[in-house]
Amino acid sequence: MAAEKGRNRLSETTSPYLLQHKDNPVHWWPWGEEALAEAKATGKPILLSVGYAACHWCHVMAHESFENVEIAAVMNDLFVNVKVDREERPDIDAIYMGALHMMGEQGGWPLTMFLDTEARPFFGGTYFPPTARFGRPGLKEVLENIARIYREEPDRVRHNAEAITQALGDRSAGSSGILVSDRLLSDLTQRMAGVVDPQHGGIQGAPKFPQWSFFWMMWRGAIRYQNSQAANAVEKTLTHICQGGIYDHLAGGFARYSVDEKWLAPHFEKMLYDNALLIDLMTEVWRETKNPLLKLRIAETVDWLEREMIADGGAFAASLDADSEGEEGKFYVWSRAEIERVLGKEDAELFSSVYDVSEAGNWEGKNILNRLGSLGLMSQEEENRLQGLRGKLLAYRAQRIRPGWDDKVLADWNGLTIAALSRAAVVFDRADWLERAENAFAFIVEKMSLDGRLRHSWRAGKLGAAATAGDYANMTWAALRLFQASGTPGYLARAENWADVLHAHYWLRDERRYATTADDTKDVLVRLANGTDDAVPSANAIQLSNLAHLAVLTGSQTYAEQAMSVLESFSPDIQKNLVAHTGLLAASMDAMSPQQVVIADGVGRPAMVETLHGISLPGALEHILSGPDASGAAAALDGKSSKDGKATVFACLGPQCSEPLTNAEAVVAVLKEQRKARV
């Protein structure tokens, strides 16, 4: 029996991250009831290691420590060692990352936590080197000290574990909070604009992240409160992101963040969610600004998704690694000599001048391609020539050893991508993008449901853990966007069904918000219910918008009441830290002033559609009917039909709709008036 237990079990999993560690001499267990039972049976504390496949420092710690036979022997002797892919189990990651924050530590991955036999955290950190350096203690020393304290000071360990676990479950729901009003949101928009880097965009300082929730709130505030400083700050940020090294100028797609303040040097991993959210934000900003750079980058990024990120079955894969051949960014960087060898001297001269390529390099002796030196596009003739040169370099780069590809399908990240593609497909008249979104949606529905409930992940024909609230919220958003794009009633029905399942299994009745995990998820220490912003928007923020939109579409007051309950529940949290809840605050606009536009088909429809897409209406429901009448598709569309055979617009704010409009200038005037708020 001992021999059976003394082994690495990760080869039995499907997660690419866990499989990266299947040959470690560490006796890893995947998270689950068996691992927790082993801890109780042996009395050993748990060493929990959380990371993801594209994580550079996870690779570093693995090579330095988990492949080290001596360190592995200490781990195996003193701990039950458990590996978690944070993308497969975001609920587990959120619990223990929250615990680390409560210990006063800055979070990040790899996450290294020490738990008692009840899975309660009592100590933790992130990356530990094998021996002391960087001001960090060595892992072997940490392991031995933690095991000694666990053995010799059980009361201290128990006290820490109980205090942290109680704090994780504490929430401020029910206490007094702040009234979310247009005055509050207008003032916040101005304050947010003031912290944006006036030279480079993004929040001042380094590192710089795209931070969708922050900039989505700022854009919505800019439009709603006619704040030109905020609008310019968002466009400046997107322009620098699009021209910086964080963007892959050869293949398309954005890296996760920039390590410097100029958006030059990325952390080279590419995550599906960042690209989905940037496509969505850029689409909305393009409508107002008609910035050709945004349109180009959207198309290039969708091309990259279709070329490199389609998983088996038609949904979208999770990520591309930062590392190849054991080196971060090696796949993406260039020497001046390589550029000249591929392009020839004359073309290399042009390309190097545009893309900041030099003999000395712009990053650790190499060159990260970027166009930060001149942010605007060149003439069409020059851009066409550059496109040809990029194609040659892309073909050459394809011969290099590629970074690792994490091809698991995550329902929540696919929901974000489907929602973004659905809206971009309509705005840019790309039926092929809509088809791609529908294919991914069909995969989630058909392959990632079990007994009428969504699952969080899928890979190699196997389903992963039960869905989180984020899976339901994001896929509901996707369904609502697909309903608007296609007019197919089945998408609305699916959105209603998922909203009802989410409410049945995730709603915390006393606190009036959604928990991350379902009421029948058995392997979590506590049920978190957060509304704070992260790299991806919180489930409560997305669902707040969804509920407001479902109330409009179906006429059900129940959805409207649920939406306001969520907002009121988080009011005390929002009062403590406004900027940490920008996703919720942006969504609150949909609850306060839901906007809907319907175009009934008729003569002049293309021009009317173009008019609609020339105005930013962030958060609005938009329906372009395929016939003169769509009664029956949704309660909100009943009675909205063409007038005198002309394309006719119905502009609605809450339950109040304009008279039928057939003149484009009148449409623009009404929509711009409706999107404003008087403060």
pLDDT recorded at residue 170: 77
Asked whether the bond before 30 is cis by omega within 30 degrees of 0, the reply is no
Q: Classify residue 164: in a domain, yes or no.
A: yes
Domain that holds residue 91: 2-169
DSSP assignment of 220-247, as one string?
HHHHHTT-HHHHHHHHHHHHHHHHSTTB
Q: Are 588 and 180 in contact (CB under 8 A)?
A: yes
Q: Give the model confidence (pLDDT) of 77-127 as tens digits.
A: 999 999 999 999 999 999 999 999 989 888 889 999 999 999 999 999 999
In the predicted model, what is the mean pLDDT of the chain?
A: 94
State yes or no: pLDDT of 3 exceeds 50. Answer: no
Helix (H, G, I), strand (E, B) or coil at 196: strand
Tokens representing 6 are 């003394």
Q: Which residue, of 567, 592, 617, is where some domain finishes?
A: 592
State the DSSP code for 105.
Answer: P
Q: Are 587 and 574 in contact (CB under 8 A)?
A: no
623 and 634 housed in the same domain:
yes
414 and 562 housed in the same domain:
yes
pLDDT recorded at residue 518: 97
Asked whether the bond before 207 is cis by omega within 30 degrees of 0, the reply is yes
Q: What's the whole-number mean pLDDT along residues 263-283?
A: 97
Q: Which residue, of 543, 563, 592, is where some domain finishes?
A: 592
In angstroms, the Cα distances linking 630 to 89, 169, 385, 488, 625 are 41, 47, 47, 10, 7
358 and 218 housed in the same domain:
no
CA-nearest of 129, 134, 128, 121 to 163 is 121
Q: Which residue, of 545, 562, 592, is where some domain finishes?
A: 592
d(CA 476, CA 419): 9
Query: If you compute the radius of gyration of the chain from its CA atoms, what whole number of angstroms results?
Result: 26
State yes or no: pLDDT of 37 exceeds 90. Answer: yes
218 and 87 housed in the same domain:
no
State yes or no: pLDDT of 54 exceeds 90. Answer: no
pLDDT recorded at residue 177: 82
CATH of the domain at 11: 3.40.30.10
Helix (H) or strand (E) holding 513: strand 513-514
State the DSSP code for 580.
Answer: G
State yes or no: pLDDT of 279 exceeds 80. Answer: yes
d(CA 185, CA 180): 7
Q: Classify residue 637: in a domain, yes or no.
A: yes
d(CA 556, CA 594): 14
DSSP assignment of 321-363, as one string?
-SEETTEETTTT-B-HHHHHHHH-HHHHHHHHHHTT--SS-SB
State yes or no: pLDDT of 176 exceeds 80. Answer: no
d(CA 270, CA 280): 17
505 and 484 housed in the same domain:
yes
CA-nearest of 574, 534, 550, 655 to 271 is 534
CA-nearest of 543, 586, 580, 583 to 565 is 543
For residue 530, the Cα-to-chain-centroid distance in whole angstroms is 15
Q: What's the whole-number mean pLDDT along residues 185-211?
A: 96
State yes or no: pLDDT of 424 exceeds 80. Answer: yes
Q: Give the model confidence (pLDDT) of 358-383 as tens digits.
A: 999 999 999 999 999 999 999 999 99
Tokens 């296609």, located at residue: 486
pLDDT recorded at residue 1: 34
Looking at residue 221, its amino acid is G
Measure the N-to-C terminal CA separation of the chain; round to a whole number of Å: 71
303 and 435 housed in the same domain:
yes
HSE-up of residue 576 (Cα within 13 Å, Cβ side): 10
311 and 342 housed in the same domain:
no
Q: Quote the number of domains for the chain.
A: 4
158 and 276 housed in the same domain:
no
d(CA 96, CA 50): 9
pLDDT recorded at residue 627: 76
571 and 649 housed in the same domain:
no
Q: Which of the residue ranges 315-329, 425-439, 587-601, 624-638 would you say has the lowest mean pLDDT?
A: 624-638
Q: Give the model confidence (pLDDT) of 515-545 as tens digits.
A: 999 999 999 999 999 999 999 999 999 999 9
511 and 631 housed in the same domain:
no
